[in-house]
Amino acid sequence: MAADAEAILAGLDPEQREIAESLRGPVAVLAGAGTGKTRAITHRIAYGVRSGVYAPDRVLAVTFTRKAAGELQGRLRGLGADGVRAQTFHGAALAQLGHFWPQVVGGAAPRVVPGKVPTLSQVAESRKLALGGESLRDVASEIEWRKTSMLSIDGYAELVAERPVPQGLDADQLVEMHRGYAALLEERRQIDFEDVLVLITGMLESEPRVALQVRERYRFFTVDEFQDVSPLQHALLSVWLGDRDDVCVVGDASQTIYSFAGASSSYLLRFGARYPHAREIRLERNYRSTEPVVRLANRLMRDRPGALTLRAVRAPGGAAEPRDEPRAPAFEWFASEQDEAAGVADSIASAIRGGTPASEIAVLYRMNAQSARFEEALRRRGIGVRVHGAQRFFERADVRQAVMMIRGEAKVADTRPLFQIVSDVLRAGGWTAKAPEGAAERERWEALGALLALVDEMPPGTGIAEFSEELLARQRTQHEPALDAVTLSAIHAAKGLEWTMVHVVGLSEGILPIAHAADEESIDEERRLAYVAFTRARDVLFLSGVAGGARAQRQPSRFLAEAGIIR
């Protein structure tokens, strides 16, 4: 057991190893972009399990997205800690609410509505308010902010003058939309995702026997992306912990980009004040990006609260020196949005011809509405595109069918090589080795090809039964394979991801920073968005902006000057 535990620590750098060996008490990990924080915390959990300090079923690792939870779960499984639960805040809270509701309240827990907009549309109609889809989504965001900030409707009404009011409403009508939404959910015995956290937090606070059971079940906590914790999530974590302090939090204040949804980096920055005996460990060795990219990111965040100073290194434990002949980030200023899309698409086409895989290239933008012109320009050049945040991979009808066929094949004894079995199954479903011409057909071809590519990621000797179970686990956690296509993504959705080559587009005043960012606090949020975008690049970073807006001429983003790209 001791030898197995020590093997977990092999290959970690000194700071990562210190994290892995800090198994008890409060620990705060301040982890800059690309510094291997997921590696550090998964090895910490696995080391705790292998050394016997942690019982795996008493460990809860919490993060913010199903994809991130799936990645955590997959890494822990690979490290021999597959008994550990990795969940989102909402996933863990929903499971607990469903378990305890029948005992405390009686009957089944209320049904969770999949989204707020349909209900809000009915509320608006009942009040004879003509609200478009964008306004309804803005109201939904305000309801989310109110609940995650732990404000009652009356408390929100006192602050509504300071809040953005969606188009088509005044402040009083906005408050009435909140009241109508709450009343309609109550009438239908429904709750939303924020209510899940509200209800389980209240139940744990008011029912000592429920709190006792949860605290007996989970003893050791790890919270990733702690800079994005909201007051409501922090309250839930506090009741999970009770008077205990075995919690490890991980985050980077420079990547706080969800303040509009109630997130606050203050819990990360003040962790030491709450736990004076907490151990604080900084990860500042950046293993992702070249030295010029890291230097640009450091300039952008210089002297900002909680900012870390990154150092570019070659590999874990390697010397702090730049990679061979790194390319400096390049900037290009275009006359129009069409020119920018064409220029970016040409650059990407050239990179692909030069040997860069399409899956290693991304285009990042501030607003989803920017994606269409880049998608069109890339497809016109025959380049496959994946719009990140669109339909999930495992929810595609063709992928679901292929997974079902593979699971069916797993029920039959077959000693052929795994690649041949999976290939035959996909060919039976219409997949071919040659890419089709049409865009829709090519998208399906790329999705099925990604399933086949997963075979190469499996350990030697893996059989069809084990591969089938791996697909099922990935489907359950939304752990998607990489597609051979260029990724288009809003910056918010790109956090935690990385590519060899990244184009950050729309770096114009009014776009990034966005036009409605009027005060210093909101400009700081936009700056952090730019920081997240820049640090997604491993080797090549292209920056671009547009002079010609729909109504007026724009100036280059102020963040370009702050980062030393322009003067």
CB count in 10 Å sphere of residue 323: 15
- Report the alpha-carbon distance of residue 2 to residue 5 in Å, rounded: 5
- Report the alpha-carbon distance of residue 124 to residue 138 in Å, rounded: 13
Q: How many residues does the chain have?
A: 567
Say whether 34 counts as a known binding-site residue.
yes
Angle, vertex CA 145, rays to CA 144 and CA 150, nearest 5: 100
Concatenated DSSP letters of 376-414: HHHHHTT--EEETTSS-GGGSHHHHHHHHHHHHHTTS--
Say whether 147 counts as a known binding-site residue.
no
Kindly tell me the number of DSSP H helices and DSSP E strands found in the chain. 24, 16
SS (H, E, C) 76-142: HHHCCCCCCEEEEHHHHHHHHHHHHHHHHCCCCCCEECCCCHHHHHHHHHHCCCCCCHHHHHHHHHH
- Report the alpha-carbon distance of residue 144 to residue 331 in Å, rounded: 37
- Report the alpha-carbon distance of residue 109 to residue 99 in Å, rounded: 9
8 A C-beta contact, residue 76 and residue 82 = yes
8 A C-beta contact, residue 493 and residue 66 = no
- Report the alpha-carbon distance of residue 453 to residue 450 in Å, rounded: 5
Say whether 32 counts as a known binding-site residue.
yes
Radius of gyration for the chain, computed over Cα atoms and rounded to the nearest angstrom: 25
Termini Cα distance of the chain: 58
8 A C-beta contact, residue 81 and residue 46 = yes
Say whether 37 counts as a known binding-site residue.
yes
8 A C-beta contact, residue 286 and residue 311 = yes
CA-closest candidate to residue 44, choices 66, 69, 72: 72
Which residue, chain included where needed, has tokens 């959990």?
Answer: 45
Collapsed DSSP state (helix, strand, coil) of residue 485: coil
Q: Is 314 exposed, middle or buried (0-12, 13-18, 19+ CB in 10 A)?
A: middle
Say whether 355 counts as a known binding-site residue.
no
- Report the alpha-carbon distance of residue 267 to residue 232 in Å, rounded: 12
Which two structure tokens, joined as six digits, stand for 430? Answer: 């219409």
Q: Enumerate the known binding-site residues for ATP.
A: 31-38
